């Protein structure tokens, strides 16, 4: 891109500015608004970052090599664009114009006096610096470390002070001496409260300094300081400018019963949620699903009914004790939070189907998520016999006829059939359980497919626990991947894969392994999803992650690794996501977006999917690829996939034209005029919800006038439900 800019001739630059002037005049005449070309002071600039690598990589210690890669990887995953040079180019490369220099310890330790002097001059002139560990560079910037080391095993980031952060690999670190330069403390060692990460001014510039290695333990950057990207935003105002609004969240109404539905939906809308999977086990209670669905649709959010079999509902459990599942000791199977029913009983299934059909047909869900039908207990199976299922009378009788013994004997330590002593008998029952589970899923998916036949643009999703990473769990919970693939091929259901609880403490790269495995069978772009459970899975930093619950760097890298194979990440649950992580997810999903700023408020954008770009100014008019562009809200411009030129025009008053403020599908193109809005979108399987600032008088889909449902929300916007597929729309 730099080479392209250098090669623009005088005549082509003149032509570009001339065309921009003509456009400004056109917009002024069309809207009646005075328009002016934006300047760098009127919109958010595209910050330029430069990563300085060592000229020589040989001879680096393991800690230095990990640290170098960790800082690079953390910034790369976040979606912050940066350039990279080696340190030997410092003297010959023009380094002015960069907002941030990133100098890992391995680079800082290799710098010459002359190179350090060049960097000092740059910072003194207004460039910012991120660096770590003790070096001549830190000395030259006036940083003084205390003489004594302290043993660090717990720290606290003062940006998120209520959250302790654990170092499972304890380290000796020299804190920063308070008698040196004036600074702001960012992180402290928790027991002594001594500073180990600071920010400080140096001339017109500023730096953030880590007195310890950022991450000497892994090349990924998630073992010590999870909030590097938040620090760059807070200290330097350097942040990703692109977001992707495709995240899906689980929602348990029982966890949010003190919050008004309208407030919840506004919260979800603000945080870029596309789909909510709403717990459906309150269907026979007084929860108002109609209000939830209506409010979500008004704001362009899709709603799926999430069923959690073998649990049906509390009311169903209370009304039908005869159908309760049993454990080996004849106890009702109330396990964890689920009240398990005996779905092997055909009468039980018939009643479930009857009640579910009435519920699903009377509500305007966009789909149904048939989730987590497996046999307990997960993940330990027969190692916890008091919770083992199924052990109802039907299963025991049927299995005894087939095998000659009651499966309860598998848990009698005195029996010759005990599962640990008699592996043949255990394998016989494990196979029986898998076949039974397959039959039950087949029956339920057959029922839901009939429901889909009576709906329009409706998605059936099957959520299963993954056993590819831990094959031993297959026998324990009766989950069989090949059976799952058979169901996928038979029904065409969308597959959502959830890693079992035994894997929640593993590194984010587990999702890459899952992606490679499942993509061999499931090819559809939107037919495969991964689910992440955001729960406290790292007690005291177990697994090498500082925070007990995924946040910051771990959430970013989970999202990044998921997105290497899928377009639809799902998280459990919307009430568990930390405030800072909503943006981490949506930014990371858009991390491939490249933005280059030219002069006169012109940005070159490369987007691999539909994204929202923050311009930094909500009072601008936009031009995309030479045409007036009104797919925007606030300071966000909705940009289709591809390479585009975005021109940002300052406007003193609001435009009178209709605008698209939100779209749940992929926006392919748009054309905006005074009396009509035209656009092309793509959304397979389910409806596409498009939100406009003005009420449509008529809607044409592929040239045919179409009666589409229109919802008005509390912001006096209008959301149109459009059919699934790829379509061209004209709205009068």
What's the pLDDT at 599?
A: 77
Q: Is the pLDDT of residue 572 over 70?
A: yes
Contact 554, 508 (CB under 8 A): yes
Edge-to-edge strand list for the sheet holding 710-712: 660-663, 688-692, 718-722, 710-712
- Give 613's strand partners: 242, 637
| DSSP annotation string for 536-574 | --SGGGTTT-SSSS--THHHHHHHHHHHTT-SEEEEE-T
**Helices marked H in 274-392 — which ranges?**
289-298, 314-319, 346-361
Tokens (6 digits) for 225:
């300081």
Q: How many CB atoms lie within 10 A of CB 43?
A: 21
What's the pLDDT at 31?
A: 40
Taking CA atoms, 474 is separated from 378, 411, 428, 431, 506, in Å, by 10, 19, 13, 10, 19
Looking at per-residue pLDDT, the higher value among 271 and 29 belongs to: 271
Q: Is the pLDDT of residue 28 over 70?
A: no
What's the pLDDT at 652?
A: 58
Which residues are within 8 A (CB) of 716 and not within 5 positions of it... i.e. 6 or more apart?
A: none
Predicted confidence band of residue 44 (pLDDT cuts 50, 70, 90): low
| 32 SS3 class | coil
- Give 639's strand partners: 611
Per residue in 247-291, pLDDT (tens digit) is 999 999 999 999 999 999 999 999 999 999 999 999 999 999 999
| DSSP annotation string for 93-160 | S--TT-SEEEE-HHHHTT--HHHHHHHHHHHHTT-EEEEESS-HHHHHTT--B-SS-EEEEEEEETTS
Per residue in 179-197, pLDDT (tens digit) is 878 999 999 999 999 999 9
What's the pLDDT at 346?
A: 98
Across residues 307-320, what is the average pLDDT? 98
Predicted confidence band of residue 93 (pLDDT cuts 50, 70, 90): confident
What's the pLDDT at 92?
A: 79
Number of separate helices (H) and strands (E) present in the chain: 18, 38
Q: Is the pLDDT of residue 34 over 70?
A: no
d(CA 627, CA 306): 43
Buried b (16+ CB within 10 A) or exposed e, 666-696: bbbebebeeebbebbbebbbbbbbbbbbeeb
Looking at per-residue pLDDT, the higher value among 4 and 552 belongs to: 552
Q: Which residue has the tokens 């035994």?
A: 502
Per residue in 111-137, pLDDT (tens digit) is 999 999 999 999 999 999 999 999 999
What's the pLDDT at 675?
A: 86
Across residues 56-77, what is the average pLDDT? 97
Could you give the domains of the chain?
Answer: 2-43+592-731 (no CATH), 49-236 (3.40.50.880), 243-323+337-380+432-589 (3.20.20.80)
């Amino acid at each position: 891109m730099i080479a392209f800019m250098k090669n623009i001739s005088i005549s082509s630059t003149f032509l570009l500015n001339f065309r921009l002037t003509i456009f400004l005049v056109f917009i002024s005449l069309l809207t009646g608004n005075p328009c002016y070309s934006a300047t760098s002071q009127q919109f958010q600039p595209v910050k330029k970052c430069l990563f300085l690598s060592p000229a020589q990589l040989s001879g680096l210690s393991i800690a230095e090599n990990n640290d170098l890669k960790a800082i690079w990887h953390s910034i790369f995953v976040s979606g912050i664009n940066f350039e990279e040079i080696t340190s030997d180019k410092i003297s010959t490369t023009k380094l002015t114009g960069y907002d941030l220099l990133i100098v890992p310890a391995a680079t800082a330790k290799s710098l010459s006096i002359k190179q350090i002097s060049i960097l000092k001059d740059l910072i003194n002139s207004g460039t910012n610096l991120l660096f770590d560990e003790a070096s001549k560079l830190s000395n030259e910037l006036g940083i003084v470390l205390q003489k004594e080391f302290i043993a660090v095993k717990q720290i606290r980031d003062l940006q998120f002070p209520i959250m302790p952060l654990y170092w499972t690999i304890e380290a000796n670190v020299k804190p920063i001496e308070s008698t040196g330069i004036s600074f702001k403390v960012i992180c402290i060692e928790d027991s002594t409260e001594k500073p180990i990460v600071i920010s400080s001014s140096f001339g017109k510039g500023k730096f953030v300094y880590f007195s310890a290695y950022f991450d000497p333990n892994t090349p990924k950057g998630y073992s010590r300081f999870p909030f590097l990207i938040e620090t760059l935003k807070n200290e330097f105002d350097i942040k990703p400018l692109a977001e992707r609004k495709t995240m899906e969240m689980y929602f348990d109404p029982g966890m949010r019963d003190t919050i008004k539905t309208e407030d919840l939906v506004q919260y979800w809308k603000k945080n870029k949620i596309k789909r909510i999977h709403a717990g459906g086990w309150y269907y026979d209670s007084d929860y108002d699903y109609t209000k939830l669905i209506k409010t979500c649709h008004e704001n362009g959010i899709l709603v799926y009914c999430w069923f959690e079999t073998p649990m049906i509902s509390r009311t169903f459990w209370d009304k039908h004790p005869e159908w309760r599942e049993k454990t080996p000791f004849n106890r009702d199977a109330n396990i964890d939070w689920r009240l398990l029913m005996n779905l092997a009983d055909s009468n039980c299934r018939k009643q479930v189907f009857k009640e579910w059909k009435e519920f699903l047909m009377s509500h305007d869900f966009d789909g149904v998520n048939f989730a987590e039908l497996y046999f307990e207990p997960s993940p330990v199976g027969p190692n916890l016999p008091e919770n083992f299922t199924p052990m109802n009378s039907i299963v025991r009788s049927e299995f005894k006829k087939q095998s000659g013994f009651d499966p309860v004997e598998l848990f009698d330590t005195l029996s010759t059939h005990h599962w640990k002593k008699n592996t043949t008998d255990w394998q016989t029952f494990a196979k029986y359980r898998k076949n039974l589970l397959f039959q039950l899923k087949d029956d339920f998916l057959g029922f839901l497919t009939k429901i889909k036949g009576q709906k329009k643009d409706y998605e059936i999703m099957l959520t299963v626990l993954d056993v590819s990473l831990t094959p031993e769990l297959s026998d324990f919970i009766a989950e069989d991947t090949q059976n799952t693939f058979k169901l996928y091929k038979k029904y065409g259901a969308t597959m959502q894969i959830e890693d079992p609880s035994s894997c929640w403490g593993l590194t984010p790269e587990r999702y890459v392994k899952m992606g490679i495995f499942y993509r061999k069978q499931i090819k559809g772009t939107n037919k495969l999803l991964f689910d992440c459970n955001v729960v406290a899975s790292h007690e005291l930093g177990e697994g090498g992650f500082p925070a007990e619950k995924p946040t910051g760097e771990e959430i970013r890298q989970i999202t990044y690794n998921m997105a290497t194979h899928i377009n639809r990440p799902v998280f459990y649950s919307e009430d568990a996501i930390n405030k800072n992580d909503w943006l981490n997810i949506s930014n990371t999903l858009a991390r491939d977006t490249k933005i280059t700023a030219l002069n006169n408020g012109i940005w070159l954008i490369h987007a691999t999917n539909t994204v929202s770009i923050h311009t930094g100014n909500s009072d601008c008019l936009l031009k995309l690829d030479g045409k007036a562009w009104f797919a925007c809200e606030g300071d966000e411009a909705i940009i289709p996939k591809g390479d585009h030129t975005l021109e940002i025009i300052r406007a003193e008053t609001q435009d009178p034209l209709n605008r698209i403020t939100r779209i749940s599908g992929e926006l392919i193109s748009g054309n905006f005029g005074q009396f009509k809005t035209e656009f092309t979108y793509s959304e397979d399987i389910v409806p596409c919800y498009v939100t406009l600032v003005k009420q449509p008088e008529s809607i044409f889909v592929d040239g045919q006038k179409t009666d589409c449902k229109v919802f008005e929300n509390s912001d006096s916007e209008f959301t149109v439900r459009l059919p699934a597929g790829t379509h061209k729309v004209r709205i009068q």
